[in-house]
Amino acid sequence: QKEVEQDPGPLSVPEGAIVSLNCTYSNSAFQYFMWYRQYSRKGPELLMYTYSSGNKEDGRFTAQVDKSSKYISLFIRDSQPSDSATYLCAMSSRDDKIIFGKGTRLHILP
Partner 1 sequence: SAVISQKPSRDICQRGTSLTIQCQVDSQVTMMFWYRQQPGQSLTLIATANQGSEATYESGFVIDKFPISRPNLTFSTLTVSNMSPEDSSIYLCSVAPNSNQPQHFGDGTRLSIL
Nearest distance from residue 48's CB to partner 1, in Å? 9
Contact assessment for residue 102 and residue 87, using Cβ atoms and an 8 Å cutoff: no
CB atoms < 10 A from the CB of 18, how many? 12
101 binds partner 1, rule: CB under 8 A: yes
Q: Find the part of the chain contacting partner 1 (CB under 8 A) among 14-22, 45-53, 56-64, 69-77.
A: 45-53
Nearest distance from residue 109's CB to partner 1, in Å? 23
Nearest distance from residue 45's CB to partner 1, in Å? 7
Contact assessment for residue 51 and residue 32, using Cβ atoms and an 8 Å cutoff: yes
